[in-house]
Amino acid sequence: MTGYILKRLLSAIPVLLGISVIVFLIMALIPGDPATAILGSYATPENVEKLNRDLGLDKSLVQQYFIWLGNMLTGDFGTSFALNRPVLDEVLERFNATLVLAGVAFLVCAVLGVAAGVVSAANQYGLADKAITFAVLLGISIPSFFLGMMMILFFAVNLRWFPVSGMWPIYGDRTLGVLLSHLAMPATALAVVATGVIARLSRSAMLEVLRQDFIRTARAKGVHERGVIWRHALKAAMVAIIPVLGIQAGFVLSGAVYIEMVFQWPGVGRMLVDAILKRDLLLVQGGVVFVAACYVLFNIAVDVAQSLLDPRIKT
């Protein structure tokens, strides 16, 4: 198993390099010249030229890439000009907040989505199945940012159950309870779409498995129907569900950008949008590379989970 994890980690290196090349190339496409963007249009040509030299922009594209890559590997992602602070510090701090939000949302959508799919399949064409199918359809059609706004209106403004926005109150203690009350609405709004997609796929994966011969064997042994559904069928269906969980984790991470805007969550998504509007490109570059790298590592964890579940995968 250790060997397998090591092998997967090694195979991630070209993917990570590819990601850095893609991000670098997109940023190299930028029309105009960053020094002017930083210094403003009243800068003197001498100052622009000096800054270009300082930023290494007078070198060839290939040289620039390797300098940038080398700096990143030593933990130097550059300095955000808008915040006047190292990019990595800012990204790490913001990514923490995103991780809390997206992590909780992912747990919610994975557990609820799979459970809803199993219940739906076990009661195919029954009342529960129809109700879940309808809820899923609604869930995957509603834009998460609109849902978030409506939740603020209803649960925060009208019912006053939860705070309107933010991760922490401006004054007061930072306890787990406070965090959870701030987290409840954004995490739910973020989880809804992925829950729907996972529920839908889990349902069809379960229906596929329930028709197989080993389910009849379990029944013939006298295993209780609960065990047939939740142990035998679900375990086999997880082989198809786990890869989808990995893909949906990417969608949850993506959706977090909208949710962070709606709920003023101090996460990396809001940071990226602000940075784009301020043309703080080093911050965008560093943030994108960092989050994408984390996602690649997460997908390796998904592969490892898959190989733990299915002994037929050669490790």
Say which residues have a Cβ less than 8 Å from residue 83's Cβ, sequence separation at least 6: 90, 280, 283
The answer to whether residue 92 forms part of the interface with other proteins (CB under 8 A) is no
Least distance (Å) between residue 201 CB and other proteins: 13
Which among 230, 242, 236 is positioned nearest to 214, based on CA atoms? 236
- Applying CB under 8 A, which part among 25-33, 58-66, 90-98, 178-186 lies near other proteins? 25-33
The answer to whether residue 63 forms part of the interface with other proteins (CB under 8 A) is no
- Looking at the Cβ atoms of 23 and 104, the one nearer to other proteins is 23
The answer to whether residue 313 forms part of the interface with other proteins (CB under 8 A) is no
> Which one-letter amino acid corresponds to residue 161?
W
Burial of residue 135 (number of CB atoms within 10 Å: 0-12, 13-18, 19+) = middle
What Å distances lie between residue 239 and 225, 302, 309, CA to CA? 21, 11, 7
Site for other proteins in 253-272 (CB under 8 A): 253-255, 257-258, 261-262, 269, 272
The answer to whether residue 161 forms part of the interface with other proteins (CB under 8 A) is no
Q: How far apart are CA 141 and CA 303, in angstroms?
A: 29
- Looking at the Cβ atoms of 156 and 179, the one nearer to other proteins is 156
> Which one-letter amino acid corresponds to residue 31?
P
CB atoms within 10 A of CB 202: 27
Residues in contact with other proteins, shown as a per-residue x/- string from 199 to 218 under the rule CB under 8 A: -----x-xxx-xxxxxxxxx
* List 87, 104, 110, 152, residue binding other proteins (CB under 8 A): 152
Least distance (Å) between residue 232 CB and other proteins: 6
